């Protein structure tokens, strides 16, 4: 699907978020991999960069429909699926097709509730422009 922000905008926003944390580095692979598909980036990281411990991080809202993603079974086989709490989605996420498939092999992060949806963030950002 089409993303709301361009690649350049997403990189700029990510860099602003982590500018004070030197332990985090913003890296993008879409131009190198020539794909925005997660499985293609994961394969690149494993085959070309020889990375072994890859954590694939999503919100519990995405976990609900994760079984509809391209190559989701390969993604969870090659990475450690890590799920951040999203208010109102955690219980559905824990009952999802992927959660049942993986049983106890998902890492659930007990973060402070993320109350704002990505849609509200985008709309709020639109007002600021």
| Total number of residues shown for the chain | 129
| pLDDT-based confidence at residue 7 (cuts at 50, 70, 90) | confident
For residue 106, give the 3-state DSSP assignment: coil
CB burial of residue 83 (10 Å; 0-12, 13-18, 19+): buried
What is the distance between the alpha carbons of residues 64 and 60, in angstroms, rounded to a whole number? 7
Q: Please provide the DSSP assignment of 62-81 as one string.
A: HHTTGGGSTTHHHHHHHSEE
The pTM for the full model equals 0.79
**Average pLDDT value for residue range 70-95:** 96
What is the distance between the alpha carbons of residues 120 and 74, in angstroms, rounded to a whole number? 32
Phi, psi at 83, each rounded to 5°: -120, 125
Q: Which helix (H) or strand (E) holds 91?
A: helix 90-94
What is the distance between the alpha carbons of residues 127 and 111, in angstroms, rounded to a whole number? 28
pLDDT at 121: 63
**Average pLDDT value for residue range 88-116:** 91
Per-residue pLDDT reduced to its tens digit, 8-30: 888 899 999 899 898 999 988 88
What is the distance between the alpha carbons of residues 90 and 64, in angstroms, rounded to a whole number? 9
pLDDT at 1: 52
């Amino acid at each position: 699907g089409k993303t709301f922000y361009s690649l350049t905008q997403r990189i700029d926003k990510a860099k602003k978020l982590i500018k004070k944390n030197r332990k985090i580095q913003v890296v993008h692979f879409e131009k190198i991999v020539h794909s925005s598909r997660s499985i293609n980036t994961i394969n690149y990281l494993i085959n070309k960069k020889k990375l072994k411990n890859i954590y694939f991080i999503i919100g519990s809202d995405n976990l609900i429909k994760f079984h509809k993603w391209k190559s989701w079974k390969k993604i969870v086989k090659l990475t450690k699926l890590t799920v951040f709490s999203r208010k109102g989605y955690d219980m559905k996420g824990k009952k999802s097709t992927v959660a049942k498939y993986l049983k106890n092999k998902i890492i659930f992060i007990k973060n402070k509730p993320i109350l704002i949806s990505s849609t509200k963030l985008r709309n709020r950002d639109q007002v600021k422009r």
